[in-house]
Amino acid sequence: MSLIKRRDVLGNSVELPAGLHPILKRIYAARHVTDAIELEHTLNRLQPFHLLKGIESAVEILIEALQKQQRILVVGDFDADGATSSALAVRVLRAMGAGHVDFLVPNRFEYGYGLTPEIVAVALQRQPDLIITVDNGISSLEGVAAAKASNIKVLITDHHLPAESLPVADAIVNPNQPGDTFPSKNLAGVGVIFYVMMALRAALRERDWFVQQGIKEPNLASYLDLLALGTVADVVPLDHNNRILVAQGLARIRAGECCVGIKAILETAGRKIENISSSDMGFCVGPRLNAAGRLEDMSIGIACLLSDDMNEARLLAKQLDQLNHDRRVIEQDMREQAFAYLDALQMEEDDDLPVGLCLYNDEWHEGVIGILASRVKDKLHRPVIAFAPSGEGTIKGSARSIKGLHIRDALDSVAAKHPQLIHKFGGHAMAAGMTINEDKFDIFAAAFNMEVARHLSPEDLHGTIYSDGELPGQDINLQLAESLRKAGPWGQGFPEPVFDGVFEVVNRRIVGEKHLKLLLRPPGNSDTVDAIAFNTVDTEWPTEVAQVQLAYRLDVNEFNHQRNTQLIVEHVEPL
């Protein structure tokens, strides 16, 4: 059972525009917005690039590569952040005059994550002078050493948390590396490479590079579509700096000023480009890109983002759509197996359920365990690691955490106490990955549970839905719903508004076999409003239900060219 808890709202210290809707003022105050400047999304409000440690060295390396027309190879990650990072780096470097720039993304099933010695061996076939890592590299000590041993320069751009030792690269740009003073530590990988490109353009401009080469100086705003997609899809916190980047990118996409790959994916998914929001990036475009890296090869996704031909992009988008469909089928099967396993142990509602839960099945798909861990975490409200076989007696795990536990730090603590248990690991506060021996699974599961129990209390394990309070009946209207859509961008760390309240049930029915469709009457309002609770059925409800308590998002439903108010239900229970 989820608990609905109302957000705390700041007091009179909040200085927001006088003409702002009172509901929006309340929402912003609950997200600790204390100044109207934090609502401005103009690019001149971005944090300056010169605050990033190592960026001067990175720029000098890139200028030399451009001047000497060196062969540049971008090595990315196999998720949406890595794909957008790779596409942005290749596009911008080509626009700045690089004649030999290409990308390489490791196949997760053959090479694993990051710049490994094995992927360096593959890279050598292309004879690069410079390797640029995007969205990876900060933990690639051996891979960087292998590249340097082959006389290849290495520029690391990453945002993941570093270990105690850093790679001996020619330059490292990462806002989370020791000694970095950049105020926004939440840049995605695509954000880091974008900042590097901003610094590079500024330096080239000072040296009259574009005039001397007879090329047009690139407008970096043209690449904000990729930046918005990668930032939202990687679920990094949307602090003010990231909200600026995402808002600007979304505005360009809505105006049709985006790469044809994004247009093709949105078209294939049946989304109208002029109405897209950050949630479309996170739940529509991002999963289709990620499906390529999970099931096959992220090169398909990067090729789609690099294409300038709409027909080609459509073909690639259809491949991504099919891969995403296949991924959903595999995920559903794995999810059923996971919960059947828990049911067999009678653990799902039992106090003996581990605080930190580890699951393993030798038939699970390595590319889908991250989604499985997320689904189980959402249902059971505790940190979860799902494992799948990865060959040669090892298994790979994908971890998802909840508020109160920094998952990478927890793994670091387990590794320190059990030095031979984890082969390698890395990640963020809320997500991480690792490799262990299959025969050590039980030992690892016990050690992980013990570590998690040190940090989380029983109260932390209750699912909590944070609400922005009750909406008066007269405010449940299309005008406010439209205003809320425009008031974002919403996302991780700056959540979309959720309201709660009691409603009269006028009608209810199941649609699509698993979604609950409701016709409700708000309090103090004679009009009715549609609501839908996805993946919810009412088979256990009494036949006659007069009222329900909801936690919901106020949204706009467009059907047959008609736009109407719709409640997207986060939690519902009969009264």
pLDDT tens digits for range 357-403:
999 999 999 989 998 999 899 888 999 999 999 988 999 999 999 98
Q: How confident is the model over 473-529, as pLDDT tens digits?
A: 889 999 999 999 889 899 999 999 999 999 999 999 999 888 999 999 998 778 899
- 118-125: Cβ within 8 A, 24+ apart: 119/75, 119/143, 120/146, 120/147, 120/150, 120/152, 121/146, 123/73, 123/75, 123/147, 123/152, 124/150, 124/152
Category of 535 on φ-ψ map: left (φ > 0), alpha (ψ -120 to 50) or beta: left
CA distance 436 to 418: 12
CATH fold of 47-319: inorganic pyrophosphatase (n-terminal core) (3.90.1640)
pLDDT > 70 in the chain, percent = 97
CA distance 195 to 330: 37
Q: Which two tokens stand for residue 45?
A: 């409000």
Amino acid 144: pLDDT: 96
> Dihedral sign, CA of 351, 352, 357, 360?
negative
C-alpha 390, offset from chain centre: 24
- At 499, which helix (H) or strand (E)? strand 499-511
CA distance 65 to 59: 10
SS3 call for 71: coil
User: How many Cα atoms sit within 13 Å of 168 on the Cβ side?
Assistant: 8
CB 359 within 8 A of CB 341: yes
DSSP state, residue 45: G
Q: How confident is the model over 274-300, as pLDDT tens digits?
A: 989 999 999 899 999 999 888 888 899
Amino acid 1: pLDDT: 53
Task: Compute the average pLDDT of residues 267-274.
Answer: 92
Task: Compute the average pLDDT of residues 158-170.
Answer: 92
> Dihedral sign, CA of 229, 231, 233, 238?
negative
SS (H, E, C) 291-348: HHHHHCCCHHHHHHHHCCCHHHHHHHHHHHHHHHHHHHHHHHHHHHHHHHHHHHCCCC
What single letter denotes the amino acid at residue 91? Answer: R
- At 455, which helix (H) or strand (E)? helix 441-455
Amino acid 551: pLDDT: 96
- 436-441: Cβ within 8 A, 24+ apart: 436/387, 436/394, 436/395, 436/397, 437/393, 437/394, 437/395, 438/362, 438/389, 438/393, 438/394, 438/395, 439/393, 441/358, 441/360, 441/387, 441/395
The alpha-carbon radius of gyration of the chain (Å, integer) is: 24
Amino acid 11: pLDDT: 60
pLDDT > 90 in the chain, percent = 73
- What does residue 409 show for φ and ψ, rounded to 5 degrees? -65, -35
215 pLDDT more than 70: yes
Amino acid 514: pLDDT: 87
User: How many Cα atoms sit within 13 Å of 108 on the Cβ side?
Assistant: 27
Amino acid 13: pLDDT: 55
**Residue 351 vs residue 383, higher pLDDT:** 383
Amino acid 540: pLDDT: 84
Yes or no: domain 465-574 corresponds to CATH 3.40.30.10: no
Q: How confident is the model over 54-76, as pLDDT tens digits?
A: 999 999 999 999 999 999 999 99
Amino acid 426: pLDDT: 81
Task: Compute the average pLDDT of residues 4-15.
Answer: 75
pLDDT, the chain, mean: 92
User: How many Cα atoms sit within 13 Å of 287 on the Cβ side?
Assistant: 18
| Residue ranges with strand state E in 306-452 | 357-360, 384-391, 394-400, 422-427, 431-437
Q: Which residue intervals of the chain bear CATH 2.40.50.460?
A: 465-574
Amino acid 2: pLDDT: 66
CA distance 336 to 342: 10
Q: Which residue intervals of the chain bear CATH 3.90.1640.30?
A: 47-319
Lowest-confidence pick of 80-94, 97-111, 336-350, 410-424: 336-350
User: How many Cα atoms sit within 13 Å of 184 on the Cβ side?
Assistant: 24
- Scan for tokens 């799948």, then name that residue: 388
DSSP3 helix / strand / coil % (the chain, rounded to 5): 45, 20, 35
CA distance 201 to 219: 9
Amino acid 519: pLDDT: 95
C-alpha 38, offset from chain centre: 22
Category of 32 on φ-ψ map: left (φ > 0), alpha (ψ -120 to 50) or beta: left
Amino acid 347: pLDDT: 56
DSSP state, residue 255: T
Amino acid 351: pLDDT: 59
Question: What totals of helices (H) and strands (E) does the chain contain, helices first?
Answer: 18, 17
Decide which of 3.30.930.10, 3.40.50.920, 3.10.310.30, 3.40.50.300 is the CATH code for 345-461. Answer: 3.10.310.30
Q: Which residue intervals of the chain bear CATH 3.10.310.30?
A: 345-461
CB 475 within 8 A of CB 501: no
pTM recorded for the entire structure: 0.89
Name the pLDDT band for 239 (thresholds 50, 70, 90): very high
Q: How confident is the model over 516-544, as pLDDT tens digits?
A: 999 999 987 788 999 999 989 888 898 88
